Each structure stands twice: as C-alpha cells, then as structure tokens.
Structure 1
Amino acid sequence: MTLRHLAIVMPAYNEVEGIRGFIDEIRSAVAPLADEVSFHIADDRSTDATAVQFDDVADTTVVVQPANRGHGPTALAAYRAGLAADPDALVHVDGDGQFHGADFPRLLRALTGEQADVVHGVRDGRTDPWYRKTLTGAVGLLIAAAAGRRIPDVNTPLRAYRPEALRVLVEAVPADATVPHVHFSLAEARGGFRVRYVRVASIPRRGASTTGTMWGRGGGLPLPPKRLRVFVRAALTEAWLLSLRPSAPLRSVRRPEPVRR
C-alpha cells in the first residue's frame, strides 16, 4: 500500500509541550505508506506558542482560527483544511497526543485493504476522568438506540477517511457544531458508510500542564467541572436538533459513490 498523498489534520489548543514531538512520531510511522504526507493544524487561538512551533517545518501548515470556539468547530476547520489539500486519504487526531504514532498505519491499512470509507480508532485504556468516560458511555447508548446498533467509541477523535466520504459529512454538519464526531458516527451508521474499527491504545495527554485540555487532566475530581456540564447540555440539544429528532437534517446523509482515481 502506497498512498499518493496522506493528510493528517489536527485541532489544537495550548499544546506547545507535546505537539511537535507527536507530529514527528506520526510522520515517522506513516512516511513509508505515502509519497507525500502533509499536516494541517487548526489552532484554536492558543495562548502559548503552539501556533509558531512549525514555522520552520515545510510539511506542516498552521491556521489560527478567527476566534476561540472550542473543539468541535476547530476540528471541522482542520478537516476542511485537509480536504483542500486534495489527499487520497485523511486522518484526524487531536493535538493533545493521546495516541501512539505506531497505530496510525494500522488504521490506514484497514482503510485501503478493507475498502472502507472510514476507520475509527477505538480507544483502550483511557485515562480520562471518570465523568468523561461516563459521558462517552451514555452518549454511546443514546446513539446506539438511534442507529439501531452499537457504535464503539462513538466520539473517538482518531479517524481515517476517504476524502469523498468525509466531504459528504463535513458539508452536512454546520461549521459551528459542538460534537461533529457524534454526528459523523450516527450518519455513517444510518447512511450505509463502510465503517471499520481498529482498537488502539489511549495514553495520557502529552505535557504536564492542564492548560491544553478543555476539561482538565485529573481523574480524582468528585464532580464534573461546570464548563463540562454546560457543554453537555448544549451538545445534547444540538444532537437532538441535527441528528436525533424525526425531521433532523442529518438523517438524509448517505454514502457517496466511490471516486476512482
């Protein structure tokens, strides 16, 4: 398997401590699989030096967003940047580096070898606080009921896509969506997309500070932070309006016909 062009897309916020090493690790892992590898970072108005870490790196482009908007809109901006580069495969991963670069080739082999539209990296050994794990499980049950089948790790940020399939999803989801990956997962299940799942290791965020993650790193907090509680309410409302109610617009998303290059 040799890809013509592989694009790695990444939303980031205050990840200066680990992002460059993470990208170096990914590059080393995927370079044998593609003639060209490019990295596209959407920086969510970081307050540290994340945005200038790659000024001297030719294969990495950083676009600072016009405002701090949170993970969902920034992830969608990263996807759009990657699609604009005209790759024949695209991988999304968060900038906090909670995966091993060595797992990326496994997703790409599943994408190309199994004729998939999308491959989800299903996280093993998550180190997130209990309330984030609980939230993921609850959302998973809700989406399973709506989709008619269980979707492992419904909100995983590690995903490999064929661009023609991804373009349909990105164009269907509003640019300001809070939980685009939840919408993607449900649309893929309902719309006949060929989805494959690969189990991958989940590791702690790269970096010692807590400023680069929206919800904090510790696992011992007795209650979810207020910001997360507000986020959950907004996300559930959005999921109902866009994906779950009988007249939801994303119910009409369907798998596109494959593009032959």
Structure 2
Amino acid sequence: MVMPAYNEAEGLPGFLAEVSEHLSPLARRLSLVVVNDRSTDGTGEILRELVDDLPGLVPIDAEVNRGHGPTALAAYRAGLDLAPDLILHVDGDGQFHGADLARVVRAAVSTGADVVHGVRRGRHDPWFRRVLTAAVGTVVALAAGRRIPDVNTPLRSYRPERLAQLLGRIPADALVPHVHFSLAEARLGFRVRYVEVASIPRRGSNQTGTMWGVERPPKLPPKRLRRFATAAAGELWQVSLRPGAGR
C-alpha cells in the first residue's frame, strides 16, 4: 500500500493500524509506504515511532513540500521499487474504512483487473468540491468517450506494470495525477473495475485538514482551492485534454 500524508499526525496511527489489520490477511508480504510531505505537525516523528509496532511500515520524508499530487506520485514510485504484485493507493486523511480497502484488493485479485477504483458514496466534502469533481468528471467523460465513476478517487489498486505505463505518461509534479490516470486507463483499454465504498469524515479533530488554508468547513471555495483549480485545469488541458495530448 502507498500513501501520501501531510499533517495527519492525529489520525494516521489509528488509520494505519486499521489498514494493516484488514490487509495483512490478504498478502504474503504487506508494505505500508507513507510519504510525509514535510508535515509541520509531527507526522514524520509519529511515523518513525510506529515502525516498531507496524510490520512493513516504510516511512519516507519528502525533501521539500510539493503538494498532494507530486507526493502521491512519489509514493507510487517508492511502492514500485519494492517489486509488489499489487499496489493500493489511499490518502493519509483516512476517509475510508479499512474493510473497504480490503474489498478493493479482493476485487483486483478475483477479477484480474488492471485497475480497481473505490467509488465513494456519501462524501463529506463541501458542496463546491463535489461540484468541481462532477464538472471534471463530465469533461473527462467527453474525452474518454464514456463516463468514469468518481474520476479522482484516491482509493485505487494497480497492477505494477500498468501503473508504470501511467507514470510514464504524466509529469512527476502533476497536480491531479488520478484524473490523468482515469482518462489514460480508458484510452489504453485497461481492464477497470469499480467497487462502491463508503466515504467517511477525515480522521482527527480538524475537519478540513490544512491543505486549503482554512480550519473549518468553508461555505465558499477558499482562495487556495481556487488557485489550485485554475492551475489543475491548465495542466489537464496541456497533458491530457488538448488535441493530440495523451495519445
């Protein structure tokens, strides 16, 4: 399993323990690769303390803070370096049940799929993030020629050889790698399966995390999110959507 994490010191220990509990019975060897994106709340220290209690935990400290997308891609590459049979990605905010992670893995094994997406139900994100996800999904559906459920879900499993193909198609600093991946999977004819999973509130007392520069759920999109959305839209056009891109 691979995971990007930023300022998740409060919720991460319990989430990792739950992940290990549910995934360990499914694997001969389970590695938990967590890339700490230069957190400021002690996440790195917490991870190092957990090494003795969680077999297979591989904590990695990023050299600089790069944001979610590049950190997720770094986690994927670190996971590939371990020569796994299957790679499962999930974010460090813990917005999934460990049992649902196991369901995604079992679906990958039983179907032989190249990719399995965990399609979120009952999302707790603010309305504007759900609207943004729906808008991106519509654009990607037009480009892919079919609808892709939950186009940006962070819960997904990959066969290593397929993941390597996808990593070679986008920049290492991509802001929205999973959107690029979802579109490329359709264009390349990957065997993709979808598993409905519950979306739960992020773990820890901070309901919003620190990604968008706010402490409480905002009623309108915060400035940092607006800037991110603008940059991500430009990246999607250049890398995957403009005529001839991503072919």
Residue in structure 1 matching 2:168, options 168, 171, 174: 171
> CA–CA distance in 2 between the matches of 1:177 and 1:104?
25
Alignment correspondent of 1:110: 107
Gaps of 5+ in 1: 1-7, 252-261
> CA–CA distance in 2 between the matches of 1:140 and 1:30?
30
Identity of aligned residues (%): 62
Residue in structure 1 matching 2:149, options 134, 148, 152: 152
Please identify runs of 4+ aligned residues in structure 1 that moved more than 2 A: 209-213, 215-219
Q: Are the counterparts in 1 of residues 104 and 195 from structure 2 also a CA contact under 8 Å?
A: yes
1:24 lines up with 2:17 in the alignment: yes
Cα distance change on mapping 1:92 and 1:237 into 2, 3 Å: same
What is the DSSP-based 3-state SS (H/G/I as helix, E as strand, rest coil) of the residue aligned with 1:172?
A: coil
TM-score, normalization: structure 2?
A: 0.95
Counterparts of residues 123-142 of structure 1 (less than 5 Å): 123-142=120-139
Gaps of 5+ in 2: none
Provide the alpha-carbon RMSD of the alignment.
1.3
Q: Which string of whole-angstrom CA distances, capped at 9 and with x for unpartnered residues, describes residues 118-177 of structure 1? A: 000000000001111110000000000110100000000000111111111112211100
> CA–CA distance in 2 between the matches of 1:178 and 1:134?
18
Alignment correspondent of 1:201: 198
Alignment correspondent of 1:44: 37
> CA–CA distance in 1 between the matches of 2:91 and 2:216?
18
> CA–CA distance in 1 between the matches of 2:182 and 2:158?
12
Letter in 2 for 1:120: H
What is the DSSP-based 3-state SS (H/G/I as helix, E as strand, rest coil) of the residue aligned with 1:176?
A: coil
Cα distance change on mapping 1:180 and 1:100 into 2, 3 Å: same
Letter in 2 for 1:19: L
Letter in 1 for 2:211: M
Q: Are the counterparts in 2 of residues 99 and 203 from structure 1 also a CA contact under 8 Å?
A: yes
Cα distance change on mapping 1:217 and 1:171 into 2, 3 Å: farther
Q: Are the counterparts in 2 of residues 96 and 213 from structure 1 also a CA contact under 8 Å?
A: no
Alignment correspondent of 1:85: 82
What is the DSSP-based 3-state SS (H/G/I as helix, E as strand, rest coil) of the residue aligned with 1:104?
A: helix
Aligned-residue offset at 1:11: 0.3
Q: How many residues align?
A: 242
Residue in structure 1 matching 2:60, options 52, 58, 63: 63
TM-score, normalization: structure 1?
A: 0.90
Q: Which string of whole-angstrom CA distances, capped at 9 and with x for unpartnered residues, describes residues 181-231 of structure 1? A: 000000001110000000000000000125734135744x33100111110
Q: Are the counterparts in 2 of residues 45 and 64 from structure 1 also a CA contact under 8 Å?
A: yes
Q: Are the counterparts in 2 of residues 9 and 41 from structure 1 also a CA contact under 8 Å?
A: yes
Alignment correspondent of 2:240: 243
> CA–CA distance in 2 between the matches of 1:217 and 1:85?
37
Q: Are the counterparts in 2 of residues 147 and 186 from structure 1 also a CA contact under 8 Å?
A: yes
> CA–CA distance in 2 between the matches of 1:211 and 1:77?
24
